[in-house]
Structure 1
């Protein structure tokens, strides 16, 4: 296999695993599920972006961020701002006191579009902002924390505090952000109605291809020298530092990559679901995102996707079937995974799946040799002479 291609695919086994996941997402789900359920799976896959980033950041880099909902929310809000402006044209908002601005601004007696919103009339600027805004924030946090060697549980607490601060800020600035209700009633993308079933199907496939792109980028990073350094930093950070490497810069880089992945997921969430609210930014959703990676296996990029699908399907199924008990059932699921499968679904595959496949692929034992005949003389029982050196 081509060395460059091998880095992207993760070798033969990685290519097989990627093909299985692609078949499941791109073929099985679209054929087996109706439009409503398929859109729900698409929503689950937007969380998988965050889980894939956490595998890089936490699983390999040893950086446990409990604030990834911040970057997910920022990406979603950037996309939602563009969509909301498109849905707030003067004709659609002519009944408002001030036509041409979002409805929640009119309710809050704002008479002019704020300066912060004006660049989001441009779709190109919006795409740039979806990535740039979360990455810039991650860069600021990373420089402030890692350059001062703040890590482990202290970094996790700081990211939780940032998630709480941003949630309070979004809710408090109701005239700018829509407050606790968020930005809702998103209808079109550059004139294309995103609410009908065919549009949601197209967005599902766009979402899936972007997710596979992030997985390939993650595999390329892990297959490079940087990936080996990340694992070394996770296990023996001081040894890597004494070897002359700038540990802080590597941590900042992988933290920014995880933030970018999360932001892409947030933007796709706003497109597929049609709204964005502060309920996806706070501490609780950020911890849930860590659970997605833990259930799938924090050392497996593909496992993170399966973890996001399984946990979110469990939430949906339990809440629909057992509306009064679903929280307890979800808690039991997490406890069971931690107790019996500490390495997640990927660890379960490593310990049992490969063994099972090995048994299936094992060649049958050779049949008993026939009795010697005149045509097949019996082999002598004398051992072969050992080779001797002069």
Structure 2
């Protein structure tokens, strides 16, 4: 019954396609789960690359004097780590900046090798670090970002050699050493991403189970109340209309006592089906407990909400149910409607007004819709009637 924002893949090919072109929710969750690890690893690599000046000195003590500044440039990755600490949302621009920054670090390494005697020859193994970067740093981004970086980082030295930027670059030796490592890194990224997708799917399933009513498929109270609080705050901030329906099955105990609890469960499930039928994709249907439901209507004023409530009430009234003994019967619902008002300080006040309207609907005869604003009129009319009766009694 719950409307999912995106279908998750259930096949290996579908999973790979999803990993290459994931939805926004998946990317954000992956970013949140791996961001801290990326920060730590990038900061560590920044210090490590700078400290490898010691390797420069061992390789060529004279040339190492010219690589100090270039090695210190690697510490700029510390600024990236610090910036990433404050960036809470994933984006395509962040992925692009990260790829460009890591490729720039590799280009800087090529310049360092140019300053060392036979640096390109001795430093071929150093390009292996780029493969580790892909596996470690880029796990917070999409698989396609990982693959693009790995291939770009592997091709960059070839390009530098062709442009004579890398002195005496040995294409064959480099290809024999690095390309197998690059392909292995891509395989590792695919495996890691697929394992994360399995974890993501499991977490989504567990989340759905914890926030879903198993009988009806509607949301449960645990999900609905925090959502209502958020929507109330958002509506007050933006001025958007927000309405709430409180729905209760009339004489439900009699249904259970007469036709049995299995039939009662089917009645409850049927209410959920009808409620979802008339709710929009942006609306939320929840079973708050027993035979009581709530429907949150976003961007909907009280007049529209009453129309939705009337459609639900009328539809349910016209449905003929059958018990386990094949006895046909009908049932009805009462619905209270409230539109968020300035007087509603929080979600409890809002929910309370809708619940009070529901109580009035039941008290005034059941099988009807009562608007929260109509409660005062109903209450006042009853007070006037009682006052009139008391007055008549006094006169008599």
Q: Shorter-chain TM-score: which interval?
A: under 0.3
**Higher-strand-fraction structure:** 2
TM-score by structure 1 length? 0.25
TM-score by structure 2 length? 0.25
Q: Which has the larger radius of gyration?
A: 2
